Amino acid sequence: MAQTLKWMSEKGLSGLEFATGVPATIGGMVYMNFECWGNDVSSMVDSVYIYEKKNGFRWIKRQDYQVAYRWTSFHDFQCIILAVKLNTQPSTTNKVKEKMQQYLSERKEKQPVLKSTFGSVFKNPLPQKAGELVDQLGLKGTTIGDAMISNHHANFFENLDKATFEDTFKLIKLIQNKVQTMYNIKLECEVQMIQ
Ligand SMILES: Cc1cc2nc3c(=O)[nH]c(=O)nc-3n(C[C@H](O)[C@H](O)[C@H](O)COP(=O)(O)OP(=O)(O)OC[C@H]3O[C@@H](n4cnc5c(N)ncnc54)[C@H](O)[C@@H]3O)c2cc1C
């Protein structure tokens, strides 16, 4: 992502600046239907080149796969995304860099981007926001082992030093139980777990 944004700014290509500061790959972003602040990567996609065990290599046009909140049809394909064609808008290096800086500042203001995190823990139970529910329960700063609910944004966990999967999992369960009890809402993980 960082390399792509650098390349796009050098070429004066605009459209992906909203993802500045996110440690992701283009394939992962397309697979997860990356979205923030009303921008989503899917609306830029022209086509995706995949390898699928069953059907081999092929290009898929954007209109030939489905997207939803943090989901695409690729979840059902069992495939690897190898390349993506994106539609971009012509701009200038300075304008692209300026937009990147604006998005990075916004992200730094709202999220603990300079800490060790794995991004948002829970999907937003729309129209509610997971972080706001956790915050309302006064859980910011709650720590299990070395995993802490961020004081900066309650839908992020910070690794204070050597947080383990168990620390993180217990913190997830603690939040899910409290949110279920207090609001009767089942918070679903955004992050994918391999157990
Ligand atoms: C600090 C931070 C901020 C974040 N902010 C946002 C945000 O604002 N909005 C948002 O939507 N997400 C956000 N995320 C989550 C994450 O960046 C996105 O989900 C991203 O799209 C995942 O990309 P990745 O390359 O890191 O994939 P990974 O996390 O490595 O993988 C995610 C899933 O995609 C699959 N996958 C990865 N690459 C491919 C590929 N090439 N082909 C097929 N499957 C693949 C993996 O198997 C896995 O199931 C954030 C994460 C962090 C750490």
Q: List, as one string, the DSSP characters of 75-109.
A: HHHTEEEEEEEE--EE--HHHHHHHHHHHHHHHHH
- What is the pTM for the complete model shown? 0.92
Q: What is the pLDDT of residue 193?
A: 86
Summarize the confidence of residues 144-149 as an average pLDDT.
Answer: 98
Q: List, as one string, the DSSP characters of 19-64.
A: GTT----HHHHHHHT-EETTEEGGGGEEEEEEEETTTEEEEEEGGG
Q: Where are the domains of the chain?
A: 2-110, 112-195
What's phi and psi for 148, nearest 5 deg? -125, 140
104-123 pLDDT tens trace: 999 999 999 999 999 999 99
Choices 3.90.78.10, 3.40.50.1820, 3.40.640.10, 3.40.50.920: CATH for 112-195: 3.90.78.10
Q: Whose CA is nearest to atom 22 of ligand 1?
A: 28
Any idea which architecture 2-110 has in CATH? 2-Layer Sandwich (3.30)
Q: What is the pLDDT of residue 53?
A: 87
CA–centroid distance, 191 to ligand 1, in Å, is 9
Which of 17, 26, 32 gets mutated to test ligand 1 (max ligand atoms within 8 A of its CB)?
32
In this structure, the residues whose C-beta lies within 6 A of any atom of ligand 1 are 22-25, 27-29, 31-32, 34-36, 80-81, 113, 117-119, 192
Given a cut of 90, whether residue 83 has pLDDT beyond it is yes
58 annotated active-site? no
Give me 79's structure tokens. 């495939």
